[in-house]
Structure 1
Amino acid sequence: MQQFLQKLKTQPMMSGTSTGQAFWHTSAEADLLDSHSPVDGQLMARVYPTTREDYDQVVETARAAFLKWRLVPAPRRGEIVRQMGEQFRQYKKELGTLVSYEMGKSLQEGMGEVQEIIDICDFAVGQSRQLYGLTMHSERPDHRMYEQWHPLGVVGIISAFNFPVAVWSWNAMLAWICGNVCIWKPSEKTPLTALACQQIIKEVLEQNEVPEGVSCLITGGRDVGALLAEDPRIALVSATGSTRMGKAVAQTVAGRLGRYLLELGGNNAMIISQHADLNVAIPAIVFGAVGTAGQRCTSTRRLIIQESIYEDVKQRLVKAYGQLRIGNPLDEKNHVGPLIDRAAVAGYQAALFQIKEQGGRLLIDGEILEGPDFESGCYVRPAIAEMPAQTEVVQHETFAPILYLLKYGTLDEAIALQNGVPQGLSSSIFTLNLREAERFLSAAGSDCGIANVNIGTSGAEIGGAFGGEKETGGGRESGSDAWKAYMRRQTNTINYGTTLPLAQGIKFEL
């Protein structure tokens, strides 16, 4: 990994485009972005933020690239994405380790995130030959109707720290095979992994003589993301993050009648029926609640348990949590790494305070871990709390490993609890009862974008469209027909006859 990092440390990167051209900020007064690892608190890199001047130059370079890239046949664009996938295969270990160290997720999850990039590259290659439109029969004689799809232009991608590279790839790979160019604004908390991705694909883009500007990187905080949202030159803004951030992006982009794709907060629930196979359910609950230290948008936050098995499930969970190993995520023996920073730790502490204040009972107390193995101050103990159903803290997403236990009597009560929050991303039920499973998946069941049976709330595959409803934003990324979000539909009618019949039988004679 040291050699890999050395490639990235040749110069302090600020903003740049696909084949390595960089636009350097010259002001000595620029406040550098410091990337500290939550693993050990060490400073990994200092990155120049993008200025308005820099931003405008990047956008104009991207716009010029689009005029050429849109004319490249889609299967050829897919071939270039295929080569990117091969590059990510080559650097999977190095990039996965970097993701783990900069973000704090376990090494296995870091490798898994890079595998998601590889998988979406494979998916996009096939999709590049399947950008299908429809043909329709015209009501007019000697006429043919069909629809086709064209690229939008410049796509802005705002990604979050918790999946610092995978979510970019879900957007970028599909946007590219559709003929768009991309400007990526990664989280200011994880800029180095973004720079690494840009370096990894650089060789592919150069070898294929891809126009400068097809893949662009800008860095900075909320103000830099706002530039994308406000800019009428950006055809689509895809934003992943908090509901508060998503609402601001939506209002700004809608104000200029632009397009947006939002992947926002989740407050995901798992229903445990009395008909559940608990040997399957318990590992799913634990991974869903503590994986990535509870910092997935699909993390399991609420566990809705049938009252007849409530005590059994509770005892099993307490036992399972007692076996968790917390520590350096680069050690594959550990299950739980750190939170991203001390601000996240403060949010965790605030939620623990609210649990007690609102009548909850902690089965496993949360705490900040101290000692030589936890020097960054970002390691916390995953907590479990029994809660009254309608308390305020349960209604909100806390990006930390806190699991709320709730009881239910009937399945309808469980579904009402599941749906009774503002968010609507992921959900699941554990049951061997076919009627319960089908009820949960019906229109009268889960109101989430993702609804699973006998698997957890996290761990979505790239083949299905990913996204949620309500305050989760309504966006869909990755598989299925999510490619349509990155294209514009055009309806075409061709008259191959010698007369001009009008639609709806209208007569117009001169």
Structure 2
Amino acid sequence: MTDDILKIFNISTTGSGVSTGQHWLPANGAPITSVSPVDNKEIATVKSATREDYDQVVAVAQEAFKVWRTWPAPKRGEIVRQIGEALRGHKEHLGKLVSYEMGKSLQEGYGEVQEMIDICDFAVGLSRQLHGLTMHSERPGHRMYEQWHPLGITGIITAFNFPVAVWSWNTMLAWVCGDVCIWKPSEKTPVTALACQHIAAQVFAANNVPEGVSCLVTGGRETGEWLAHDKRIPLVSATGSTRMGKAVGAAVGERLGRSLLELGGNNAIIITADADLDMALIGAVFGAVGTAGQRCTSTRRLIIHESVYDNFIARLARAYSQLRIGNPLDEHNHVGPLIDRAAVEAYLGAIEQVKQQGGHFVVEGGVLTGPGYESGCYVKPCIAAVENTYDIVQHETFAPILYVMKYQTLEEAIAMQNDVPQGLSSAIMTLNLREAERFLSHAGSDCGIANVNIGTSGAEIGGAFGGEKETGGGRESGSDAWKAYMRRQTNTINYSTSLPLAQGIKFDI
């Protein structure tokens, strides 16, 4: 299956992972081998960037920006529209590649590509709406307004769990804003990045887009550090762990650059006594086991009213017993593998900590073995009854471990929901209008995303995506997130015959 798809995207099994757009550099860095967690087979080996390769890419991107920023925004939007059309044509192939390289279910792989298509559509419309404001001047014969200009190079660091969608969130908006992009994908999922670069390159070549508007540099932690410390890159957008984000934020902040951080989540659903429990069950199960618990928006905690706790836990356990775990390319399976064996070890370590800290398992976990599970990356989604104060509950484990706990009052539930270092996504399940509005009020959820009667996972591209506290404070995708990729300029025009000063200051000469 993968050989055919690699041919479609013109990907060599031993090729370069450094590109300035339509051209690939003869990369000289260490090889990165992509191994599928589905069956432990090698997909391809990619040569990473050396420092010299990286500097060459940045130089080409700098020159490209001088030209790309002069293209009218709607013309840049037309290029993005064509990329969206190309993605539609490749949705099946790219979706399968995402599923196979990352391990998420095939439906989620297709969904990720659809998310890319959706953000292209959003960005095309945005290309005709990069608006500023006008203000009344206190001085007669003067006009004030603001406008937005492109920043330059946007550096994009993405994580393995959404190997292509998060790149598109940043890139499509940055492109219509007039920026050029340098993408460092996760070293765990480099092949899907090569496929995206191939798709963009074909569209760019057909439209004479300058070389350097879409750049790719594969590599490990060191490559990300080059981006973070590089004064030539005014904006670095980084998605990943809080630990990584703190390092990127510090490096970019030290040089007074801009960072857009999308980091860890420790997301909770509050299930009230007035909840539709059937609806709550669907939201909780998908949120907890979708992508094998490897989403930043995965549901980690259920905070359940004591009056419905036993009933809901019984329903939850029955639903977990019906989960099908296996090859994600089989559409009958609900849950695929974790990304690698290191993730499996983190999963097992978290289970042990739950036991040591006093929790007990409602649904037991464990590693699956036998036919179909030879990669060693398949685990059982599990449910642990805990206290919110447990140290392990306060941390994000990227695995399908769901923590459940009781509450008595809504104020108590909201306090528990907020009492973690992270602040990405949150939800409440209730048919009580007062409870819903209380959850969404100033004294409610402290997260960047707060939902009513839907789960924590599965955000649409129309709204700004991001979170507070240790989630980093960044916003990507919809709403006015485009402003992160531009610089604001205030302009004052004097069309009078004199030069009055503001604040009534007199300066006669």
TM-score by length of 2: 0.99
Q: Report the residue type matching 2:24 in the other structure.
A: A
Q: Report the residue type matching 1:443 in the other structure.
A: H
1:472 corresponds in structure 2 to 471
- Write the distance in 2 (CA, Å) between the matches of 1:70 and 1:485: 16
1:18 corresponds in structure 2 to 21
Quick check: 1:422 aligned with 2:421? yes
Residue aligned with 1:44, SS = strand
Identity %: 71
- Write the distance in 1 (CA, Å) between the matches of 2:451 and 2:282: 15
Quick check: 1:123 aligned with 2:122? yes
Residue aligned with 1:372, SS = coil
Q: Contact 2:88/2:117 (CA < 8 Å) preserved in 1?
A: yes
Q: Contact 2:14/2:45 (CA < 8 Å) preserved in 1?
A: no
Deviation, structure 1 residue 84: 0.2
Deviation, structure 1 residue 10: 7.0
Residue aligned with 1:22, SS = coil
- Write the distance in 2 (CA, Å) between the matches of 1:134 and 1:47: 47
2:385 corresponds in structure 1 to 386
Gaps of 5+ in 1: none
Quick check: 1:8 aligned with 2:7? no
- Write the distance in 2 (CA, Å) between the matches of 1:214 and 1:256: 24
1:164 corresponds in structure 2 to 163
1:186 corresponds in structure 2 to 185
Q: Contact 2:157/2:238 (CA < 8 Å) preserved in 1?
A: yes
Deviation, structure 1 residue 14: 2.3
- Write the distance in 2 (CA, Å) between the matches of 1:178 and 1:11: 35
Q: Report the residue type matching 1:161 in the other structure.
A: F
Matches within 5 A, 1:148-159: 148-159=147-158
For residues 271-317 of structure 1, give each alpha carbon's deviation from its aligned partner in whole angstroms, at most 9, with x where no partner exists: 00000001111011000000000000000000000001100010000
Quick check: 1:257 aligned with 2:259? no
- Write the distance in 2 (CA, Å) between the matches of 1:200 and 1:22: 14
- Write the distance in 2 (CA, Å) between the matches of 1:191 and 1:391: 36
Q: Report the residue type matching 2:56 in the other structure.
A: Q
Q: Contact 2:428/2:439 (CA < 8 Å) preserved in 1?
A: yes
Matches within 5 A, 1:50-449: 50-449=49-448
User: Which 4+ stretches in 1 moved above 6 angstroms?
Assistant: none
- Write the distance in 2 (CA, Å) between the matches of 1:464 and 1:264: 18
- Write the distance in 1 (CA, Å) between the matches of 2:387 and 2:185: 38
Deviation, structure 1 residue 9: 1.4
For residues 168-190 of structure 1, give each alpha carbon's deviation from its aligned partner in whole angstroms, at most 9, with x where no partner exists: 00000000000000000000000
- Write the distance in 1 (CA, Å) between the matches of 2:344 and 2:202: 39
For residues 6-31 of structure 1, give each alpha carbon's deviation from its aligned partner in whole angstroms, at most 9, with x where no partner exists: 22117602201112x122134xxx53
Residue aligned with 1:308, SS = coil
For residues 82-119 of structure 1, give each alpha carbon's deviation from its aligned partner in whole angstroms, at most 9, with x where no partner exists: 00000000000000000000000000000000000000
Q: Report the residue type matching 2:189 in the other structure.
A: T
TM-score by length of 1: 0.98
- Write the distance in 2 (CA, Å) between the matches of 1:164 and 1:180: 21
Residue aligned with 1:335, SS = coil
Residue aligned with 1:8, SS = coil
2:506 corresponds in structure 1 to 507
Q: Report the residue type matching 2:223 in the other structure.
A: V
Residue aligned with 2:308, SS = helix
Q: Report the residue type matching 1:5 in the other structure.
A: L
Residue aligned with 1:129, SS = coil
Deviation, structure 1 residue 4: 2.9
Q: Report the residue type matching 1:4 in the other structure.
A: I
Deviation, structure 1 residue 433: 0.2
Q: Report the residue type matching 2:473 in the other structure.
A: G
Query: What is the RMSD computed on CA atoms of the aligned residues?
Result: 0.8
For residues 432-466 of structure 1, give each alpha carbon's deviation from its aligned partner in whole angstroms, at most 9, with x where no partner exists: 00000000000000000000000000000000000
Q: Contact 2:5/2:97 (CA < 8 Å) preserved in 1?
A: no
Aligned pair count reads 506
Q: Contact 2:104/2:291 (CA < 8 Å) preserved in 1?
A: yes
- Write the distance in 2 (CA, Å) between the matches of 1:367 and 1:118: 37
- Write the distance in 1 (CA, Å) between the matches of 2:153 and 2:45: 28
- Write the distance in 2 (CA, Å) between the matches of 1:495 and 1:208: 40
Deviation, structure 1 residue 388: 1.8
- Write the distance in 2 (CA, Å) between the matches of 1:243 and 1:232: 23
1:364–1:32 distance in 2 versus 1, CA, 3 Å? same
Q: Report the residue type matching 2:20 in the other structure.
A: T
2:33 corresponds in structure 1 to 34
